[in-house]
Chains A and B, each alone.
Chain A
Amino acid sequence: MTATANPPAAAKPKSDSFFRKALRQKRFTFGFTVTLILIAFVLLAPHFAPYGERETAGLPFSKDGVFGTDYLGQDVLSRLMYGGQSILLISVLATALGMVVGILIGVIAAYSGGWWDEVIMRGNDVLLAFPQILLALVVLTAIREPKSWVIIVLVGASHAPRVARVARGVALGIVSRDFVVAAEALGEKRSRVILAEVLPNMTGPLLAEAGLRLTYSIGLVAALGFLGFATDTGAANWGLMMKENQLALSTQPWGVVAPVLMIAIFTIATNLMADGLAQASQKGD
């Protein structure tokens, strides 16, 4: 067995028990269940949606079906189910990207300390000065029909400096502890000190932060959709749906209200999850 095989084996039982600890939090269990139901609702669209994604179900803004039809006569329920797929996928990937990059920046800054810390974090502060959606808007206006990965990278990049601040704060409390100094004294590689000694002790707060970032991602991607920036303007998209159907808000409100409700429920659920994780991580250790 080599040294590198150790950390993952170590992390497993801990994250396992952490999850169980989190399940004891009512808010986590609730948020987690609702999230799972929502994901199932969205993923099962091809099997359970009454109509296809771009299939016309009747007249525009009619009351046919559960939620009626939209401006092109497509079924709102079906659009709702299909429309979640891209938004959820993009949000999750963008959050993951933002978390990884942000954590790396933050932990490296905290661990290097001194001059490096200053340089990295002041650069970070400059990025923080821009509103989160601005960067995405600037780039997206230049590109027609952007690929999904462009949106993922843009949203992820806008998260990174914010995550970095949190990660640095958490890491600062850990890098000064004696076990990190002990690893240094043994002559461990710097990368291993970060990966095996520092990071595993940050999981709690970082998981909570990830939940929060996911919430922001959903909001951000939906906002971009509403403003007309989506990978495929013909495809279903919660943000886009609000924009498309706002004309008939008074006569066929479901076209707008349904996606809004989905986003609200999903945001609340992921936030509750994040809260529960944060509490569980505080109770631990």
Chain B
Amino acid sequence: MTDVTATTQELKVVSKGGLVVEDLEVSLTGRGVDVVDDIDLVLAPGEVVGLVGESGSGKTTVGTSLLGYSRAGAFISAGKVLIEDRTSGAVRDVLKLPWKEVRQLRGEEIAYVPQDPASALNPSIRIGKQIVELLELRGIGTAASRLQGARDGLAEVGLPTDDEFLRRYAHQLSGGQVQRVALAMAFLPKPKVLVLDEPTTGLDVTTQKMVLDTMAELCRSHGVSALYVTHDLAVVANIADRVAVMYAGQIAELGPRDAIFANPSHPYTRALLDSIPHLSQARALKGIPGRTPSPGSRPEGCRFNTRCSFVVDACRTTVPELRTIAPDHQVRCLRAGEIGAWDINIGTVPDSDPGKLRDVILSVDGLNVFYGRKQVVHDVTFDLGKGEVVALVGESGSGKTTISRSVGGLHKEWTGTLMFEGRELARSARKRSAEDRRRIQYIFQNPYLSLNPRLTIEQIIRRPMELFGLAKGKNATDRVLELMEQVALGSQMLRYQASRLSGGERQRVAIARALAAEPDVMICDEITSALDVSVQGSIVELLEGLRQSRGISMLFVTHNLALVRSIATRVEILQAGKVVEAGPVVTVMETPHEDYTKKLLSNSPRID
């Protein structure tokens, strides 16, 4: 490929095994609308670049473009992805190669680790066979040496290499193991570049830490450059050398990790950082108002102007260019340098006072929960005060959701006592009085499943009012509008069907539905884990406001300890269905006694 032109600096990067993206643009087929544009990115050899943004920012699109791939309905309309030819040493443009060579290149030189590895592994082929097959396809090794190659690959990612393990199917591995198998398979053909698309979403902190460490270690030892796509700046803070923040299809800020976290210069980067909870101190979390504009409906001028808190008139008309404000640090903002300094401690608030008097409204005593004959929760005791948030924290399988479902009356195979204002509650919601059902509301983890997609927002929110006889007819509609305003949903959405809303908006509807019943206790089951960090920030902001203004008590189930610090007063750390440590948040997080708590704390990704 001699027709590829590249600057000398780019050539330098490429010749050492790196990758250069130049003016990349991906458009929607037939509409002339670009999904991402003007993307310039350099992956130096051995470097990990974090690509961060909310959902809809185009980060995955950029990630897959590196492999010359775009999803159906979109195509790569301009730009170059430069990489060195292994044999000849010439510079090649991935986007101009014939498809046969692209096919060869994918996996062999540029590898991809998907978000959900469980769906990337074939469920009916044993792990060992899958890895051997990969080596066969890539023509690596001989028939005899491939099995050993598979073992070596697994050993590199810290997995067992015995025959028993090789004979397993994907469903017999844990989530972290599956992800590490995917990593091993990505590394085996010895690629030069690795694209990781949110590979740790949905994993526990401990597993996440393990996968991230493995990845970082392999990149260093093999000199592989990696593009790590994620929505979580906290993860990036721990692994990336450089960070690119994407917004609405463009890079908003790009720079070395330390520069981004010490001196974030784009208002969007700052807003993202403001929405992340800290482990060391409670914060008043803030979300970013509005939602990411979709391709085709992006505003004139700066794309962030509709949500920016530093917006001036010029931002609405002038399109900002990527400007260099410090060595290697570029910002796409007209006002870069004018908006003042940023401090990580902005927004910190005093931790909740552990010595405050508590007025217990709900108490759980000796709770044992069963699924059939299997006991999953053992003798759990805790209570919840009025206007207080108690967090149930643990990794998957710790029983935290099971406890919350039992308390909410959604699971009925349990023993123990559940007292609500001094009265004992029945096991299942159906057996409880309507008044008790009204006063304890449950909010689900996944807003995509918890709202009936065929109903309108109005119907969803007004139903509890009608059911509990709180409001009717016109009054109910007025009340719905009032609640929608409280949860920051525009009144134009009244007649929208739930299927038209984004995840964050859906979760707000779910919260409004709970509020419609005028509850005293809300059980929040991982309600932010399916959402972007920025949306999590605004949901937490909303809940905190509700707690203060209405004195609603909350049972907050989560796996995120940093979030606990900002929202809860008391915390129960759960492991395998038992409470291992409990107490006021400050005490538990400042002076953890149990090893398990310490391990959770040290494995949590943090930016502070």
Which residues of A line the B interface, CB within 8 A? 1, 3, 6, 10-11, 14, 177-179, 181-182, 184-188, 197, 200-201, 285
Q: Can you list 29 A-B contacts with CB-CB less than 8 angstroms, sorted by A residue number?
A: A1-B473, A3-B466, A6-B459, A10-B454, A10-B455, A14-B454, A14-B497, A177-B449, A178-B445, A178-B446, A178-B449, A178-B450, A179-B449, A179-B451, A182-B442, A184-B430, A185-B409, A185-B429, A186-B429, A186-B437, A186-B464, A186-B517, A187-B434, A188-B467, A200-B452, A200-B454, A201-B452, A201-B454, A285-B453
Give 19 A-B pairs besides A10-B459, A177-B449 with Cβ atoms closer than 8 angstroms.
A1-B472, A6-B459, A10-B455, A10-B456, A14-B497, A178-B449, A179-B450, A182-B442, A182-B513, A185-B410, A186-B429, A186-B464, A187-B432, A187-B434, A187-B437, A187-B467, A200-B452, A200-B455, A285-B453
B409 partner residues in chain A, CB cutoff 8 A: 185
**Known contacts A10-B459, A178-B446, A184 near B410 by CB under 8 Å:** yes
B444 at the interface (CB under 8 A from A): yes
> B454 to A11, Cβ gap below 8 A?
yes
Those of B491-515 within 8 Å (CB) of chain A: 497, 499, 513
Nearest residue (CB) in A for B445 is: A178
Whether A182 touches B454, Cβ cut-off 8 Å, given contacts A1-B472, A6-B459, is no
Task: Say whether B16 faces chain A, with CB atoms less than 8 Å apart.
Answer: no
A188 contacts which chain B residues (CB < 8 A)? 467
Does any Cβ of A come within 8 Å of B408's Cβ? yes
Among B512-538, those with CB < 8 Å from A are 513, 517
Bound CA–CA A178/B455 (angstroms): 14
B606 to chain A, nearest CB (A): 31
Q: Which residues of A contact B513 (CB under 8 A)?
A: 182
Instruction: Collect the chain A residues with CB atoms within 8 Å of residue B464's CB.
Output: 186
Interface check B126, CB cutoff 8 A: no
Q: Which residues of B contact A200 (CB under 8 A)?
A: 452, 454-455
Q: How far is the CA of A283 from the CA of B313 in the complex (A)?
A: 42
Docked-complex contact A181 and B467, CB < 8 angstroms: no
Chain B nearest CB from A114 CB (Å) reads 11
Task: Tell me, in angstroms, the Cα distance from A101 to B388 when the chains sit together.
Answer: 50
Q: In the complex the two chains form, what is the Cα distance from A186 to B466 in whole Å?
A: 11
Most buried by B among A10, A200, A201: A10
- Which chain B residues lie closer than 8 Å to A179 at the CB level? 449-452
Given contacts A10-B459, A14-B497, A185-B410, contact A3 B467 (CB under 8 A): yes
Q: Known interface pairs A1-B473, A10-B455, A187-B434. Does A182 touch B466 (Cβ–Cβ under 8 Å)?
A: no
- How far does the alpha carbon of A188 sit from the alpha carbon of B460 in the complex, in Å? 13
A187 to B410, CA, bound (A): 11
Shortest Cβ distance from A197 into B: residue: B452
Known: A1-B472, A14-B497, A179-B449. A185 touches B408 (CB 8 A): yes
Contacts of B410 in A (CB 8 A): 181, 184-185
Q: B378 at interface (Cβ–Cβ under 8 A)?
A: no
Q: List the B side residues contacting A6 at CB < 8 Å.
A: 459
Bound-complex Cα distance A10 to B453 (A): 11
Give the docked Cα–Cα distance between A21 and B214 (Å).
Answer: 48
What residue of chain A has the Cβ atom nearest to residue B453's Cβ? Answer: A285
In the bound complex, residues from chain B placing their C-beta under 8 Å from that of A181 are 410, 444
Question: Which residues of the partner chain A approach B455 to less than 8 Å between Cβ atoms?
Answer: 10, 200
Q: Which residues of B contact A178 (CB under 8 A)?
A: 444-446, 449-450
Please, which residues of chain B bring their CB within 8 A of the CB of A184? 410, 429-430
B307 touches A (CB below 8 Å): no
A200 to B499, CA, bound (A): 14
Residue of B nearest to A198 (CB): B452
Interface residues of B in 394-440 (CB under 8 A from A): 408-410, 429-430, 432, 434, 437
Chain A hits for B454, CB < 8 A: 10-11, 14, 200-201
Q: How far is the CA of A2 from the CA of B450 in the complex (A)?
A: 24
Q: Which residue of B lies closest to A176 (CB)?
A: B449
- B316 on the interface (CB 8 Å rule)? no
Expressed in whole angstroms, the minimum distance between the Cβ of B477 and any Cβ of chain A is: 9
Is A187 in contact with B449, judged by CB distance below 8 angstroms?
no
**A6, A11, A185 — most chain B CB neighbours (10 Å):** A185
Q: How far is the CB of B39 from chain A (nearest CB, A)?
A: 31
Tell me the complex Cα distance, A111–B444, Å.
20
CB of B386 closer than 8 Å to a CB of A? no
B463 CB–A CB distance under 8 Å: yes
A201 vs B498: C-alpha distance in the bound complex, in angstroms? Answer: 13
* B contact residues around A185 at 8 Å (CB): 408-410, 429, 437, 442
Residues in A whose Cβ lies below 8 Å from that of B432 = 187
CA separation between A200 and B452, bound complex, in Å?
9
Tell me, in angstroms, the Cα distance from A265 to B453 when the chains sit together. Answer: 37
The residues of B that contact A1 with a CB separation of less than 8 Å are 472-473
Instruction: Tell me the minimal C-beta distance from B303 to chain A in angstroms.
Output: 29
- The distance in angstroms between the C-alpha atoms of A179 and B444, with both chains bound, is 9
Is B450 within 8 A of A186, CB to CB?
Answer: no
Question: Considering only CB atoms, which chain B residue lies closest to A1 in the complex?
Answer: B473
Which A-B residue pairs are the 6 nearest by beta carbons? A178-B450, A200-B454, A178-B449, A178-B444, A179-B452, A185-B429
Residues of A within 8 A of B459 (CB): 6, 10
User: Taking CB as reference atom, which chain B residue is nearest A202?
Assistant: B454
| Complex Cα gap A76–B434 (Å) | 67
Expressed in whole angstroms, the minimum distance between the Cβ of B210 and any Cβ of chain A is: 30
User: How distant is A206 from chain B, measured CB to nearest CB, in Å?
Assistant: 13
Instruction: Bits for B69-82, please: 1 = Cβ < 8 Å to A, else 0.
Output: 00000000000000
